[in-house]
Amino acid sequence: MNRRMPRQGPTIVRRARVEDWLERFKSAPVRFLTAPPGFGKTMALLDYLRHRAANGYYCALTAGATREVVWSELAGALEEDRGWTSQEDLLRALGERAPLELAIDCAGVPSADGIAAILRLVEEVPEGVSLLIACRSRAAFRVRELVSRGLASLCDAERLAFSADEIRHLAETCRVRFAHGDVVRLLEQTEGWPLVASGAISKAAEDNCSLHEAFGNWRTRRGHFLNEFIAAVLTDAPEEHATLVYKLMAGSQLDDLQQLQALEEQGLFVTHTADGYRALRALSRSNLYRRYASALPASPMQVRLFGWFEAEIEGRPIPWVRRRDREIFQYVALKPGGIASRGELGEAFWPGVEKHLVAQSLRTACSNIRKAIAHLVGFDQVDTYFRTGPSDVSIDPDNVVVDVKSFIAHANDGDEQYDHGEMEAALVHYGLAEALHTGSLLIGHGSGSWVTLHAASLEQRHLTILERLAEISADRQRVPWSDGRFAAGA
């Protein structure tokens, strides 16, 4: 890890879902993170480099960076004191340092020759070097073309946006009161825009509001911060684009599809959905698109894997057909992303059995799981909780709340704060993790080496948490601590 990595302040949530995506596509020559400002691109890069990259380097570029500035900043990031005066010098140095992952974080759009230098690097990147490029403008970096040619993978605003699961985790951490419907409501209001969602939750914590009140409270008391943020972004945007964004902020509607498309391609606070192009909802006070009022969200399934297994919806337990069906559901629920391949499930539950028999048995088990859930919510709602695909089986983390996953998320966040010396923030996360640990994993589970492996790992994690809670508590008795809370995602 290079020493020029900027120091991050205390954070509340690590974007594990985004980190997983970045790791999954690290074989691509370049991974683009392209979204409007405030979608957490920089934080995603830094967290990935810190936690997943074996040999990672970070370079930040300012708006209008020229070719020479690009070379100079990359030389600094790679700790090359002599600097470079040509693209060939850059390519040679990268090849000598391979394997490595190089993150280029564009706060604004570089100059034309700066972009040309970066695009040439994409085309000629040495073997063993993988690029990560964060930018707001898809058009400037020809992202669509590079993706279509197979040279790039794209992590866009939809993937970078907070999910309901992440909003719930953030609200838990800030100790903001909420019901499941409040999570869905805030997700609709903010569209998961991390800058806005985390700001609303942090402000709710400061003012002791519930999540139901969070967005309105933040818009009233901190809305001018968003306006100032957008104005700062627009200082280096073309005048015609800045004028259009200001019209959207004032509540005007743009009927010109090409204008909206141009703003979206430049990352200027316009999103593309199945309904077409439109401004992000939080951009204007007068245009909140309150579609959440038209449909009630699905009630979450609560799954307890610590202690005796429980899975219920609105207090009603899932009526499992067979023990094997229940165990397969438990296995999938324990997976970090809530997804398991059919091949993996076959090896875990039917080792050594012929493939066609495994496939038939798994189909039966999945059908039984769906029937059990449908008994409570109807078949039209089953996919809200449990899905089967041609190659995998998954649960929806937005609607299936698993105690072990919440425990691990808070433990991970606590570890990060502890490593950064942010003991007060670590104490919050470790305390929340400890409250979730209500016993050993799946007490009474009859079989499965996978349970034993998970149980040992979780018990060791719990022991570490207890040790650190004791250590921090002892330190607090000697040193006065502040009671500040911190949020991230902007």
pLDDT score at 420:
86
Task: Choose the CATH number for 317-401 among 1.10.3470, 2.60.40, 1.10.10, 3.30.200.
Answer: 1.10.10
Give the pLDDT of residue 9: 58
Rounded to whole angstroms, how far apart are CA atoms 331 and 344? 10
Distance CA 230, CA 249 (A): 10
Contact 357, 365 (CB under 8 A): no
Contact 441, 455 (CB under 8 A): yes
Q: Is the per-residue pLDDT at 457 higher than 90?
A: yes
Per the CB < 8 A criterion, the answer to whether 368 and 322 are in contact is yes
Q: Is the pLDDT of residue 490 over 60?
A: no
Q: pLDDT of 382-395, one tens digit each? A: 999 999 999 999 99
Provide the pLDDT confidence category of residue 8 given band limits of 50, 70 and 90.
low
Give the separation between CA 320 and CA 480, rounded to whole angstroms: 52
3-state secondary structure 415-429: HHHHHCCCHHHHHHH
Kindly state the average pLDDT of the residues 228-238: 93
Count CA within 13 A, CB hemisphere, residue 360.
Answer: 5
Q: Give the Cα separation of 430 and 411 in Å (integer).
A: 6
Q: Which residues pair with 400 in a beta bridge?
A: 301
C-alpha to C-alpha distance for 388 and 395, rounded to whole angstroms: 9
Q: What is residue 290's predicted lDDT score, i.e. its pLDDT?
A: 43
Asked if pLDDT for residue 135 goes beyond 90, the answer is: yes
**pLDDT higher than 80, residue 286:** no
What ranges in 2-125 are assigned the alpha helix state H? 16-24, 41-51, 67-77, 87-97, 112-124
pLDDT-above-90 percentage for the chain:
77
Largest CA distance in the chain: 69
The span from the CA of 330 to the CA of 349, in Å, is 12
Report residue 272's pLDDT band, with 50, 70 and 90 as the boundaries. confident
CB 241 within 8 A of CB 254: no
Q: Is the pLDDT of residue 352 over 50?
A: yes
Find the range with the poorest average confidence among 90-94, 104-108, 234-238, 295-299: 295-299
- Name residues whose C-beta falls within 8 Å of residue 462's C-beta, 6 or more positions apart in sequence: 433, 434, 437
CA 187 to centroid of chain Cα atoms: 14
**Superfamily covering domain 16-160:** P-loop containing nucleotide triphosphate hydrolases (3.40.50.300)
Report how far residue 133's alpha carbon sits from residue 147's, in angstroms, rounded to the nearest whole number: 13
**Residue 211 near residue 198, CB atoms below 8 Å:** no
Q: If DSSP codes are grouped into helix, strand and coil, which group holds residue 222?
A: helix
Sign of the CA dihedral running 287, 293, 296, 300: positive
| Distance (Å, whole) CA 241 – CA 234 | 8
**Dihedral in degrees, nearest 10, Cα atoms 130, 17, 153, 113:** -70
pLDDT, residue 82, reads 76
Residue 41: predicted pLDDT: 96
Taking the domains of the chain in order of start, what are their residue ranges? Answer: 16-160, 164-294, 317-401, 403-478
Task: Provide the phi-psi class of 175: left if phi over 0, else alpha when psi is between -120 and 50, else beta.
Answer: left
**pLDDT value, residue 86:** 87
DSSP state of 144: H
41: helix, strand or coil = helix
Q: Indicate the pLDDT class of residue 285, thresholds 50, 70 and 90.
A: low
Distance (Å, whole) CA 299 – CA 293: 15
Going by C-alpha positions, the residue among 161, 191, 165 that lies closest to residue 178 is 165
pLDDT (mean) for 82-95: 87
pLDDT at 485: 42
Q: Residues near 439 by Cβ (< 8 Å), separated by ≥ 6? A: 306, 307, 308
Q: How confident is the model at residue 251 (pLDDT cuts 50, 70, 90)?
A: confident
DSSP result, 8-33? P---S---HHHHHHHHHTTTSSEEEE
Across 135-146, average pLDDT = 95
Does residue 487 carry a pLDDT above 70?
no
